[in-house]
Amino acid sequence: MNRWNDIPYDVLEAFCQETATLPNNSASSRAPNEARKSLLALSLVDSRTREACYPWLFKKVTFNNTRPNSPSWKAFDEGMKLMVKNPPLCRAIKTFQLYGYVLDVKKNCPSPTTYKLLPTFLASLPQLHTLTFLIQDPFVPKFRSAFAHLLRTCGPWLTIENLAISRNCAFLINHCPNILELEETSLYKDKVVKFVAITEPLGTSRRRLRTLSTAEAISSNTLQDILKSLPLLKELKFSGDLSEDQSNQQGIMKFLPEFAHFAHLHRLILPNSSTLGIGFNPPWCMPHTPSLLKRVKREGQEAAERVARGVQAVCPGVSELWIGVICFKRDGKGVMVCSNLEKD
């Protein structure tokens, strides 16, 4: 009878993969809770089996201290120290997420160890593909300095293709020359950072970028900045409202010709139709009567359809349009058709 240690390593890896992806047998899916429990139990057999489980147990590492019962910065430091000492585990990590938002920035701030160790830890992840880095203004200068030192000594991160940052962390763009997707947002009470802090570094050496998600208000200046820096953009998502312009009586329709200048844009994602200045203004507070809810839903969909007809006529390259949760796709005849809502 074969002993467990006699199982070839590639067979052991396949066994761990099969355990991780049950019941749907998809190698790209996240291990369901039951499968994860089985993996954790399997990883306790011996060090060899544990290493084979790493790619399925540690694909993503998250530090989130936004809740009252969140781990401390000190606990985060200790976790990084342990992981840095485990190269097989570091090789398994594909995604790292940092959400650093606290109520008391003086009493609950990163330690000197955190500032020094985090860049080194990230540099020790040779397969890192996705980086999320959202921190408050008071923490930015020391992180910027620490990452600048790392860039001088170790060079940029060539493996990162997806980057999500708070706008005050635009300095990270220069560390990631191969990003294909960028999401930027602003945190509550952070200082205002001009959008050019994002578009300028993208325009100099990140023209491979294909997807941009921004919280910037929709305006002519915003669209011109994006087009100048990212002419090859294929997907554009706005989560902010229209810019405040009292002379604009057309709302989002005014900007459709400017969207049409993006020759490669195929997917456009806009906020809810109530924020697009096209005459749909549901009350913030209203009685939840079935008839009123039905009417608001109908009017919201009709407003979205008006935008879709405009995109259909003015932006022939856009094949998929989202307005809030409503999706339109261009059919074989070139008509934008709502694809995800049932008619009442």
What is the tens place of the pLDDT at every residue in 68-111? 888 899 999 999 999 999 999 999 999 999 999 888 888 899 99
Residue 276 in contact with residue 307, Cβ under 8 Å? yes
User: Rounded CA gap, 240 and 66, in Å?
Assistant: 23
pLDDT at 251: 92
Q: Cα–Cα distances in Å, from 3 out to 38, 50, 89, 230?
A: 20, 17, 25, 57
Residue 203's pLDDT band (cuts 50, 70, 90): confident
pLDDT of residue 155 exceeding 70, the answer is yes
- What is the percent of the chain with per-residue pLDDT over 90, rounded to a whole number? 60
* C-alpha 92: how far from chain center: 20
pLDDT at 343: 52
Q: For residue range 87-97, what is the model confidence (pLDDT) as tens digits? A: 999 999 999 99
pLDDT of residue 24 exceeding 60, the answer is no
219-228: long-range contacts at Cβ-Cβ below 8 A with a sequence spacing of 24 or more?
219/243, 219/245, 219/255, 220/255, 220/258, 222/195, 223/255, 223/258, 223/259, 223/261, 224/258, 225/195, 225/196, 225/199, 226/199, 227/258, 227/261, 227/262, 228/199, 228/203
Q: For residue range 282-339, what is the model confidence (pLDDT) as tens digits? A: 877 767 788 888 888 899 999 999 999 999 999 999 999 999 999 999 999 999 999 8
- What is the percent of the chain with per-residue pLDDT over 70, rounded to a whole number? 94
Query: CATH 3.80.10 occupies which residues in the chain?
Result: 59-209
Residue 235's pLDDT band (cuts 50, 70, 90): very high
What CATH topology corresponds to 59-209? 3.80.10
- Token reading at 55: 């790619």
Parallel/antiparallel/unpaired status of strands 181-185 and 211-214: parallel
Among 7-16, 115-124, 135-144, where is mean pLDDT lowest?
A: 7-16
pLDDT at 22: 65
Residue 163 in contact with residue 179, Cβ under 8 Å? yes
What DSSP string runs through 203-224?
A: HHH-TT--EEEE-SPB-HHHHH
Burial of 343 (0-12, 13-18, 19+ CB in 10 A): exposed
Question: In 124-270, which residue ranges form alpha helices assigned H by DSSP?
Answer: 140-154, 196-205, 220-229, 256-259
Name the pTM for this structure. Answer: 0.87
Q: Specify the amino acid at residue 93.
A: I
What DSSP string runs through 10-78?
A: HHHHHHHHHHHHTTTT-TTSPPPHHHHHHHHHHHTS-HHHHHHHHHHHSSEEEEE--STTPPPHHHHHH
Instruction: Average the pLDDT over 169-190 and give the result.
Output: 92
Among 40-44, 163-167, 216-220, 252-256, where is mean pLDDT lowest?
A: 40-44
pLDDT of residue 29 exceeding 50, the answer is no
Cβ–Cβ contacts within 10 Å for residue 306, how many?
19
User: Rounded CA gap, 62 and 75, in Å?
Assistant: 13
Residue 4 in contact with residue 48, Cβ under 8 Å? no
